[in-house]
Structure 1
Amino acid sequence: MIYEHLEEPLLYDGSQIEPVWALSELGIKGSSIITWIGPMDVRDIVDYEDLDLEIKAGEALHFIVEHFDEQPSSLRLAYHRQRILVMLLKEELSREGFDTRRDGDDLYIGSSKLTVSIATASISSMKIHLGVNLHREGTPDDVETVGLLDEKPELGMDGVVRIAENVAMAYIHELDSIEEDICKTRVF
């Protein structure tokens, strides 16, 4: 699995959840996890429960994951992997001193929402987006939100990038470990 952090800010508008985005926009071929920091204003909402909601942030850390290892792709597996990614983020934030709680695929600090996430599948691949608010500013007025840098400004952008890399590498390691377990297990 390929990992790349984009240095330039990029608006997450939902188009990045489309199949083969990393190939068509970045030239990255194969399963990948791409991270960047940028605003969020989702126009093409995938989750039917969120169709009437605003999903936006002034500045967020974004993860886009794409897997091509199951044909046909599996929405169920995409959601399982999404939960793994969120739990790895929770672990990493704990190491950084954040006290978060998980409810499904969302992380909270107290009663304030820290993340947004979606998983989806196409004929060719499974996709995950995980967005982590960096600030409250720019998030919807009707949702109590929190940002990493609101809570710990001393973390700075270097710390946010470190979190992105650590989570991405932990995710890749977790999936590699699962593959190794599959290869060494006798089945009946």
Structure 2
Amino acid sequence: MKYKGLKDPILYDGSQIEPMWALKNFNIKGSSLISWIGPMNLENHKIIDYEDVGLEIKSDEMLHLMVEHFDCQPADLRLCYHRQRLLVTIVKDFLQEMDLNIQRNGDDLFLGQGKLSVSIATCSASSMKIHFGVNLTTVGTPGDVTTAGLKDWIEGFDNEKAHEIAEEIFKAYEMELKTIEEDISKTRVF
């Protein structure tokens, strides 16, 4: 897997979940995790989860993780959702190490009463895609949802720390996938 941490902000508008976004925009071939900090604003026609159509999905500042896998052909939505939950659990573990009482419900993380994250998993004919976004602030989030932001809960938390965490999350995610492959290769089957 390849990793790229973008330093310039990008608006997450849903176009990044399209297949081969990393290749088209950064010439990254193959499975990858791209991270960046930026706002999010999804218009209804870009919302993938049918249950979310009609809802406001936005934030002024988030840490975004965009994962794409090409290792399973044809792409497998069930496997993609399993990987999404693995990624969410890794993020939860990292934030708990920062003495935050993070709760997970499916693919959502909560801090106190506030929703801390958004996520979606999907597939194209050639790849599996996961977007995971963590609120850095509650500014610009929907008024009808109680939200939480890392900068509101961690004194001195800044974008540089968010970039560092993103790279550590990638390393942990990559290691989980690698050790799964190693376990497969050493297991006797019947």
So what's the TM-score if we normalise by structure 2?
0.97
Partner of 1:116: 118
Partner of 1:38: 38
Partner of 2:14: 14
Alignment of 1:29-68 (within 5 A): 29-43=29-43, 44-68=46-70
**Residues in 2 aligned to 1:32 and 1:13: alpha-carbon distance in whole angstroms:** 19
User: How far does residue 162 in structure 1 lie from its aligned partner after superposition?
Assistant: 1.4
* Per-residue Cα deviation, 1:73-107 (whole angstroms, up to 9, x for no partner): 00000000000000000000011121100000000
> What letter is aligned with 2:166?
A
User: How far does residue 178 in structure 1 lie from its aligned partner after superposition?
Assistant: 0.3
**Residues in 2 aligned to 1:143 and 1:167: alpha-carbon distance in whole angstroms:** 27
Partner of 1:187: 189
**Residues in 2 aligned to 1:161 and 1:94: alpha-carbon distance in whole angstroms:** 17
Structure 2 gap segments, 5+ residues each: none
* Per-residue Cα deviation, 1:97-135 (whole angstroms, up to 9, x for no partner): 211000000000122100000000111000000000000
User: How far does residue 9 in structure 1 lie from its aligned partner after superposition?
Assistant: 0.4
Partner of 1:84: 86
**Residues in 2 aligned to 1:38 and 1:184: alpha-carbon distance in whole angstroms:** 42
> What letter is aligned with 1:80?
H
* Per-residue Cα deviation, 1:28-63 (whole angstroms, up to 9, x for no partner): 000000000000001200000001111100000000
Structure 1 gap segments, 5+ residues each: none
Alignment of 1:98-117 (within 5 A): 98-117=100-119
Match of 2:140 among 134, 138, 161: 138
> What letter is aligned with 1:143?
V
The residue matched to 1:69 in structure 2 has which SS? coil
The residue matched to 1:153 in structure 2 has which SS? coil
The residue matched to 2:158 in structure 1 has which SS? helix
**Residues in 2 aligned to 1:158 and 1:93: alpha-carbon distance in whole angstroms:** 15
Match of 2:74 among 72, 75, 80: 72
Maintained 8 Å contact 1:37/1:59: yes
Aligned residues between the structures = 188
User: How far does residue 153 in structure 1 lie from its aligned partner after superposition?
Assistant: 3.4
**Residues in 2 aligned to 1:160 and 1:149: alpha-carbon distance in whole angstroms:** 10
Moved over 2 A (4+): none
Partner of 1:26: 26
Maintained 8 Å contact 1:93/1:163: no
